[in-house]
Amino acid sequence: MSLENTNVNKSFGGWTKHYAHRSTTLNCDMRFAIHLPPQTANGQKVPVIYWLSGLTCTDENFMQKGGAQRMAAALGIAIVAPDTSPRGTDVADDDSYDLGKGAGFYVNATQAPWNRHYHMYDYVLNELPQLIETTFPVSDKRSIFGHSMGGHGALVMALRNPERFQSVSAFSPIANPVDCPWGQKALTAYLGKDTAAWADYDASILMRKADVLVPALVDQGEADEFLEDQLKPEALEAAAKASGYPLKLNRRDGYDHSYYFIASYIEDHLLFHAGHLNL
């Protein structure tokens, strides 16, 4: 698979790079960003953490605003940030910000017209890691984290595939999408009206019945404007209590839904993952 390097920036002794490639899973051209820490300069393989961004974001938001590179470089961790959805002139879209391009929701769509391109679940779980691990000096040790819609995606990926990830964390995740407007809109469009199919993409439902446990960390701002109607962390807490899941959920007074919040606690998340990646 050919990669086109579209941008390079040196950062904390390492490199933050952006690439474009053709995705067979999504049937379109895709982009991703990768931060390679300085330890990779001599070919040393390092573990990788996948970051999934939220609604309206691209592969660039986290790398520019998240403030992760300094700690990632010190720990010797690569970070990969894919785009949030398929892109292109022939890719289905919607006029609203919470459906279509920028809002792939990390599911495998089964409904037309979305099912031609919107298979972000398979892309993040299979195609992208295979590409990363065969192209860059990274090991097969992986963790995953994300924000909002991406926090939903990260939790679902880890809960459904505990053998693939050492740890999972999220900032302000959409924790119970079957019971919030963002989730109901996206899941209806992408998966259809049969709500039984939605459960495979709901972190609270998955956590309640989990029997293989991936250590999980969640940070939620108490001043988040989407807290009550869209995010529903209380559903995730109840699920963890019911199943005995190793979830640590921090409620952060005064913090909102922005990257100011993410940048404030990103190093805590990287240290959490480093502990489970045996660094």
pLDDT at 266: 98
| 235 exposure class (CB count in 10 Å sphere: 0-12, 13-18, 19+) | buried
Asked whether the beta carbons of 146 and 53 are under 8 A apart, the reply is: yes
Tokens 């921090």 sit at which residue? 250
Catalytic residue among 85, 148, 167, 204: 148
Quote the CA–CA distance of 149 and 73 in Å, as a whole number.
26
The string of pLDDT tens digits covering residues 167-183 is 999 999 999 999 999 99
Quote the CA–CA distance of 94 and 244 in Å, as a whole number.
40
Q: Among residues 167, 129, 153, which one has the least CA distance to residue 279?
A: 167
The string of pLDDT tens digits covering residues 194-211 is 999 999 999 999 999 999
Residue 279 confidence (pLDDT) above 90: no
pLDDT at 42: 87
Identify whether 59 is a catalytic site residue: no
Both tokens assigned to 111 = 């409904």
pLDDT at 210: 95
| 252 exposure class (CB count in 10 Å sphere: 0-12, 13-18, 19+) | middle
| 42 exposure class (CB count in 10 Å sphere: 0-12, 13-18, 19+) | exposed
Identify whether 148 is a catalytic site residue: yes
Catalytic residue among 18, 147, 257, 273: 257
Cα angle, residue 213 at apex, residues 212 and 214 outer, rounded to 5°: 130
Asked whether the beta carbons of 29 and 88 are under 8 A apart, the reply is: yes
| pLDDT confidence bin for 53, thresholds 50/70/90 | very high
So where are the chain's domains?
Answer: 4-276
Residue 1 confidence (pLDDT) above 70: no
Superfamily for the 4-276 domain: Alpha/Beta hydrolase fold, catalytic domain (3.40.50.1820)
The string of pLDDT tens digits covering residues 104-156 is 999 999 999 999 999 999 999 999 999 999 999 999 999 999 999 999 999 99
SS3 content of the chain, % helix, strand, coil (to 5): 40, 25, 35
Residue 278 confidence (pLDDT) above 90: no
Identify whether 257 is a catalytic site residue: yes
β-sheet with 78-82: strand ranges across: 3-11, 14-23, 28-36, 78-82, 46-52, 138-147, 168-171, 216-221, 247-252
% of residues, the chain, pLDDT over 70: 100
Catalytic residue among 83, 98, 219, 224: 224
Residue 5 confidence (pLDDT) above 90: yes
